[in-house]
Structure 1
């Protein structure tokens, strides 16, 4: 199937990057306030997908997203929901704890979303491209070839290089894996801003995003933490329909398990994010 790619052309000014809202309305509200404080226009705010996910307010989150009007690509969750699929296609191993949890939160999200929200998801492209500070940038969810592919800092560069080579991109902005990182090699940059819907397994309740800057034609980027009303998010998730373990992660900042993580990322659980 041909990919739907939205080309934004040349962008100037600060660019706010984020991913994995995961139905966390409180985090999205807080990030919108950051963008407004930093005077970053909605069209310069870009999401790597999975607007819907583990938390309790999928419909409210999508509707706020529509009101704010940042850009976004489709994550695997949006693709599955808009197609009426039976699972999230997150690439969790069959029978794993994450797979079991998805059998709770995914049907919950399906039951809460309006036709209006599903129609909005159908408008989301597979990728976004833009030019910034002399760099050619592409936004992906997992990788260019596979929306559900987990790409981490420790993932071999040879694997990452396949996405750059699609059209000689200088920078890939990725999502899906839930952890913020950057990896530079051969004058290329893979940047994952992290997700705002769940903590990064670092022992903190805060979540992550990133901001691109243009310093006289030189691209720079900074990772940032976001504080929000996580206690309310936790309370709303304790509704008997969503995994209690995910509600606990909102508070503790520790994932229930590290099934999807490579050994390197798994080994630093709870020790904070080293960037």
Structure 2
């Protein structure tokens, strides 16, 4: 036998009728609905005749139980105040508009259904086998899947409450979350989902079916009822705009929106923390109450690219262990160009080119030439190799959106040379002067140590004498990474991500881009698309945030 099983219609009669028609056209002999008849759309009463006229067999969801009893809330199981605010708003509307005879009918529905169909033991629940409003997410640990499957022991368990379709074999049990009809699956598609099960011969198989329906009519119905635009936007865009905090990190990372705007402290802005202008990007524009993580202060839209790892210096506190003996791990021009193009497509607004010493890359001027045609670009250098053809090439780029940044760790040679090598202070100072002459006054960063803290005012004065604007100098902390055995500890749970690309792959932060000394900040191998990298960062960000509840902090690598 072939059966069709849907999740919550959520007051969407257009999708429910499309489900009936599509399932019958595909040869389904019995149709089931796993509950939550109201809860997002405006026309809950229009569902009743569709269900009864087409013999759709229902179990009750938490919404149906609450509406039947006249409860004050939906019992959805949300834990976040903002999630509950939106849930309460639509529940109040549904409770007020649902016919009482329909509500009474909901009260007659069982909260689970179990029967043997063609020799297959099928268990239908709303949330899970543990609770009516339990969220059975695909990303749950394996032991949590086993706990829920073993609580039933059926051949097939069907559920819906989380709203996202998936299927997997858990031991001897096929588990299928059938999705919902009431709204899209947070995947950017307007279609909704249901499941078809073939049970012939006692060997169950499932297919998750995307379902087209008249979403324009549903959106118009919601607007006519005066529902908030944030609900209608989900119908029209395919992206969830409410109830975000309930989503686990993996599921949340796949959506377009990740945070309520109200969770972004007004004092926590990229420009205030030295991340550079424009890091908040378009995500903060408009009055939508939700934003993507990417483009906010928590995940700036700048991309770091290591062109190479070898360096003419061997600084004893280099966070990525660069030196003349380091393996070069050089990016080719072809790969660099493709990466820049991909960065533009992925929404990055700034490019930071670093190393090693980038000016040891044989094609560095050509790389910067290409990069500055696509994005504002910053190149990090120790400023010691800017002569000859390199200087001529840089001079030609002076009118572009190119910024050069270097390091000066003292007002006199002693503090600087103690870590970067004898004679390096004088050569860096000469490089700064040369950049000013080329029309590229550099930004300068000082890595603060106990040896140079007292020299910071003198460095500020020295740079002013060299003609650098006041905003071109910043102090950054010493980090315990790479060669450094002292300094601040950073990790995914304590530092804001800045997606970084090397020849080895993708990394959480530029200060942890050496795979040999910072394997904990490694994200994915080379060739991984930047879009996938953004998703990985988002997932790991929320994993860390949910683990301890704290917010990460910025770690300055750039002025």
Q: TM-score, normalising length from structure 1?
A: 0.87
Deviation at 1:71, TM superposition (A): 0.9
Deviation at 1:242, TM superposition (A): 1.9
* Partner residue, 1:83: 69
Unaligned 5+ runs, structure 2:
257-530, 532-559
Distance in 1 separating the partners of 2:131 and 2:201:
35
* Partner residue, 1:152: 137
Matches within 5 A, 1:128-147: 128-147=113-132
Distance in 1 separating the partners of 2:225 and 2:160:
29
SS class of match (2:32):
strand
* Partner residue, 2:55: 69
Out of 11, 14, 19, which is 1:31 matched to?
19
Out of 60, 81, 85, which is 1:100 matched to?
85
Deviation at 1:199, TM superposition (A): 0.1
**Residue 14, structure 1, aligned to residue 29, structure 2:** no
Deviation at 1:225, TM superposition (A): 0.5
Distance in 2 separating the partners of 1:191 and 1:167:
13
Out of 199, 216, 225, which is 1:214 matched to?
199
Distance in 1 separating the partners of 2:124 and 2:152:
13
Distance in 2 separating the partners of 1:241 and 1:105:
11
* Partner residue, 2:245: 259
* Partner residue, 1:59: 45
* Partner residue, 2:179: 194
SS class of match (1:129):
strand
Distance in 2 separating the partners of 1:240 and 1:125:
30
CA contact under 8 A between 1:82 and 1:122: conserved in structure 2?
yes
* Partner residue, 2:164: 179
**Greater displacement, 176-185 / 200-209:** 176-185
Distance in 2 separating the partners of 1:62 and 1:215:
30
Q: Residues 182-240 of structure 1: CA distance to partner in whole angstroms, max 9, x if unpaired?
A: 12132222111111110000000000011001354321111110000001101111136
CA contact under 8 A between 2:120 and 2:202: conserved in structure 1?
no
* Partner residue, 2:150: 165
- State the structure with more CA Rg: 2
Q: TM-score, normalising length from structure 2?
A: 0.44
Distance in 2 separating the partners of 1:129 and 1:166:
13
**Residue 230, structure 1, aligned to residue 218, structure 2:** no
* Partner residue, 1:268: 254
Q: How many pairs align?
A: 256
Aligned Cα root-mean-square deviation (Å): 1.8
Distance in 2 separating the partners of 1:240 and 1:21:
17
Deviation at 1:261, TM superposition (A): 0.9
Unaligned 5+ runs, structure 1:
1-12
CA contact under 8 A between 1:212 and 1:222: conserved in structure 2?
yes
* Partner residue, 2:233: 248
